[in-house]
Chain A
Amino acid sequence: MALKHKTPMLEELEKGPWPSFVADIRRMAARKPMCEDLLGLLELSYEQKEGHWKHGGIVGVFGYGGGVIGRYCDRPDLFPNVAHFHTLRVNQPASKFYSTEQLRKICDMWEEKGSGLTNMHGSTGDMVLLGTTTDQLEPVFYHLTHELGMDLGGSGSNLRTPSCCIGKARCEWSCLDTQEITYDLTMTYQDELHRPMFPYKFKFKTSGCPNDCVAAIARADCSIIGTWRDKIRIDQEAVRAYAAGELVPNGGSHGTAKRALDIQKEVVDLCPTGCMEWDGKTLKIWDEDCTRCMHCINVMPRALRPGQDTGATILFGAKAPILEGAQLSSVVIPFMKMEPPYDEFKELIEKVWDWWMENGKNRERLGELIQRFGMKAFLEAIEVQPDPRMIKTPRYNPYIFYDPADVPGGWEHDPKAFRERHHA
């Protein structure tokens, strides 16, 4: 159909094999003036190479301090239908399984009350409903809670929407019930999620194993990553079948053609700890030296499986570069059993929050506070003993702090006695 605005540049993006967001928005534009103006506005941005949304915008629903991102276009004179274009974050079901019945209900509601455009999904995990007017926010929220059994997700200085990998629902390596943990934390901390009370944002992410398919170590202030403490389970028959070319290596990730797996070269030699041995018949793993990197298991999924004494490694502090530079999460609890109701974990988290809420500066992420106060202060506050698993290497500068209580005689000097021993 002909659009109200000319969009020659965007039309270029209707070509090519990858699904085109332009073609998709355009078919909505036939029914939705909001979509028509969005395309017009985007074309203007393409011409000028500058965005056209005004700064910020504080809107929301009563009772909550977050969940809605306000947006106003800066050329309402040209594009009145996107003068307001607010986003709602809707908390997704953990690992994003849906029934079509539920999805259709959401679509009908959003076509009626919003632009009909979404992001499936936001990078934190939320289902993002993209674009509506201020007067529709309360009706959308009412419909979500009453008709769809769905709530808003997080935004602002609060607990953001937790998310997880697919875990035990469809992965043989998961050492955790990732969905159960995510759902439990989301429900336990609804107040912290909806009503900003922290110095800044805080995210949980849970992956079932060290492959980390939800990128928890990079994208969550608290990263919960599944692992095991006992031995990798080996099926020697299956190992020999890989060597003989009867099973496809890496589950077929490098092509599905059968080929003999060179176990020495592709598994043993790539093991980061050199803790494996292969004599052509039997694969031996010295599990006490294995760091559970997953490589051998990834390459031979039918022969090797994680152990059965499973739990989580808990890491803290990942954040994007603003302000003090980017951080990945660091190991704080090498191993914790994770079973409902997760009391041990929740006690830990509440100590972390207490410390951060008391000491964190405005807009200071947990990772930055740990840097500013030091890992020692953090560990003391959450009552965790130091452990060599927390570090890559001991420090190499000698600028070491001591508590006067740990030094015989404390920090008081007797200058007279000193001078009696050492004449000035």
Chain B
Amino acid sequence: MPFDPNDIMKDRITDIGPPKYDNFFPPYIKENYGKWKYHEILEPGVLVHVAETGAEVYTVRTGAPRLMSVDYIREVCEIADKHCGGYVRWTTRNNIEFMVDDKSKLQPLIDDLRSRGNWFPMGGTGASVTNIVHTQGWVHCHTPAIDASGIVKSVMDELFDYFGSHKLPAQVRISLACCLNMCGAVHCSDIAILGVHRKPPFVEHDRVQNVCEIPLVIAACPTAAIKPKKVGDRKSVEINQNRCMFCGNCYTMCPALPIADGDGDGIALWVGGKVSNSRTAPKFSKLAVPYIPNEPPRWPTVVQTIKKIVEVYASDARRYERIGEWIERIGWERFFEKTGLEFRHEHIDDYRLAMTTWRTTTQFKF
């Protein structure tokens, strides 16, 4: 029964949810489900899991650009058909994992992946820089201050060596969000790249009444910078520019308050977040660099700043220390000194619980 455009309610199926997860489990995953005993990383990008039954599964993890065409996916399928019995999976950081159930199948798979140019770099395991969790950017969203895919590509090219090696004190998670909505994993990452604005929105008074619900716009502002205002006989809003910190949330609610600006927009870098509970509790990322301009297509300043942070961390931190743990041990004053990053007014919090972030002790380093 093909789709009938003249009777679209006919044969409608709803609420079936996703395919059940185990429909697509390879047989050795199904058989050993919940029976895994231990794992080991054999080389960067290659894991082995051993079950209580003695069964083994070898996993090869490869980087991927997340934004991918059906041709890319078809090539993934071709590899999975050839080596993996027609199964494959994606990770929570958008890497691809190819699995085989016998050691003899591993090297042919690796050789095949390596023969395919740049498309399937192996890595992302252990104490590496793995894939960058990121967002839509200029490819699809209307509220970004920066692009996503282009910056991710530029950073990964520069840090590529760290993707396929295990030479860091611990894993480094980098994330990117192109505006403060943060559709990704950024606030709790070792290094976070965030798109920021620096100019208040402008108000298109002739459109506000037609396209916006004014009370929603007023309620959208975290700093209460927006008031209703009559302009001629039209209802509109007024923005107190001194209270606006350019979050863009009012534009999310109201198309007549555009905020994007090629000269004002750019990037803030944050450091020291983590989500795992290992050793220390999960941490938020904190501001390291308030602003770097957008420099398409390669964003050299951002890339070099991130590289610098990674290198200083790699040479100074102890084994197992995540970036946030390292900074807490040496102190923020040393972090700024060692990385050479400038400390500015913007680093000092001034929102609500700001006081809890100031130093209320005489313990500090000169």
Q: Which residues of A contact B (CB under 8 A)?
A: 9-10, 12-13, 15-22, 24-25, 27-28, 35, 38, 42, 45-56, 62-64, 69, 71, 85, 87, 91-104, 106-108, 110-111, 116-121, 123, 130-131, 138-139, 142-143, 145-146, 149-151, 163, 165-166, 168-172, 174, 177, 179-180, 182-183, 186-187, 190-191, 194, 210-215, 217-219, 248, 250-256, 266, 270, 272, 291-295, 298-299, 301-302, 320-326, 328, 361-363
Contacts and interface: CB of A to CB of B under 8 A. Distances in A.
Nearest to A148: B19
A295 B276 CA distance: 10
Contacts of A212: 275-277, 282
Given A20-B153, A252-B166, A322-B222, A123 B265 contact: no
Contacts of A49: 262-263, 265, 294, 296
Contacts of B29: 97, 169-170
B319 A12 contact: no
B73 A213 contact: no
Contact of A253 (B41, B157, B181): B41
Interface in B48-98: 49, 57, 59, 63-74, 76-77, 80-81, 86-92, 94, 96
B225 interface: no
B53 to A, nearest CB: 13
Contacts of B59: 170
Nearest to B75: A24
B337 interface: no
Interface of B: 1, 3, 5, 8-9, 11-26, 29, 33-34, 36-43, 49, 57, 59, 63-74, 76-77, 80-81, 86-92, 94, 96, 99, 118-121, 125-127, 133, 135, 137-144, 147, 149-150, 153-154, 156-157, 160, 163, 166-167, 171, 180-185, 187-188, 216, 219-220, 222, 247, 249, 251-252, 255, 260-263, 265, 275-280, 282, 284, 294, 296-298, 319-320, 351-353
A266 B320 contact: yes
A27 B320 contact: no
B18 A150 contact: yes
A250 B92 contact: no
Contacts of B251: 55
B320 A295 contact: yes
Given A51-B138, A99-B24, A174 B34 contact: yes
B71 A295 contact: no
A106 B249 CA distance: 35
Contacts of A146: 1, 3, 11, 13
A28 B71 contact: yes
Residue of A106, A151, A190 contacting most chain B CB atoms (<10 Å): A151
A250 B171 CA distance: 12
A259 to B, nearest CB: 11
Contacts of A102: 19, 24
B18 A91 contact: yes
Nearest to A124: B183
A49 B41 CA distance: 42
Given A123-B183, A270-B320, 13 more contacts: A98-B89, A100-B76, A117-B67, A123-B185, A139-B3, A170-B57, A210-B278, A212-B277, A215-B92, A254-B166, A293-B277, A325-B351, A362-B219
Contact of A172 (B22, B36, B72, B143): B36
Contact of B18 (A94, A142, A299): A94
A108 B77 CA distance: 13
Given A13-B297, A110-B70, A186-B17, A96 B36 contact: no
Given A150-B18, A186-B18, A190-B15, A118 B70 contact: yes
Contact of B126 (A22, A182, A211, A254): A254
Given A9-B297, A111-B70, A252 B276 contact: no
Nearest to A247: B40
A183 B20 contact: yes
Contacts of A328: 188, 282, 284
A46 B296 contact: yes
B73 A95 contact: no
A17 B76 CA distance: 18
B262 A48 contact: yes
Contacts of A361: 219
A254 B42 contact: no
B156 A18 contact: yes
12 contacts: A18-B65, A19-B119, A92-B18, A97-B25, A139-B5, A150-B16, A172-B36, A183-B20, A211-B277, A251-B39, A255-B167, A291-B277
A324 B142 contact: no
Contact of B352 (A218, A299, A325): A325
Given A19-B121, A320-B181, A322-B222, A42 B139 contact: yes
A233 to B, nearest CB: 11
Given A19-B118, A138-B5, A323-B222, A123 B133 contact: yes
Contact of B16 (A19, A149, A298): A149
Residue of B65, B96, B171 contacting most chain A CB atoms (<10 Å): B65
A169 B33 contact: yes
Nearest to B186: A320
Contacts of A117: 67-70
Contacts of B3: 138-139, 142-143, 146
Contacts of A323: 220, 222, 249
Residue of B1, B89, B276, B319 contacting most chain A CB atoms (<10 Å): B276
B38 A96 contact: no
A84 to B, nearest CB: 12
A149 B18 CA distance: 7
Contacts of B143: 51
Contacts of B92: 163, 165, 213-215
Contacts of A94: 18, 21
A49 to B, nearest CB: 4
A21 B296 contact: no
A216 to B, nearest CB: 8
Contacts of B142: 51, 53-56, 71
A96 B89 contact: yes
A110 B141 CA distance: 20
Nearest to B66: A119
A-B pairs, top 6 by smallest CB distance, nearest first, are: A253-B126, A16-B157, A55-B255, A252-B41, A49-B262, A107-B70
B121 A18 contact: yes
A93 B21 contact: yes
Contact of B68 (A21, A87, A256): A21
Given A100-B80, A218-B187, A63 B12 contact: yes
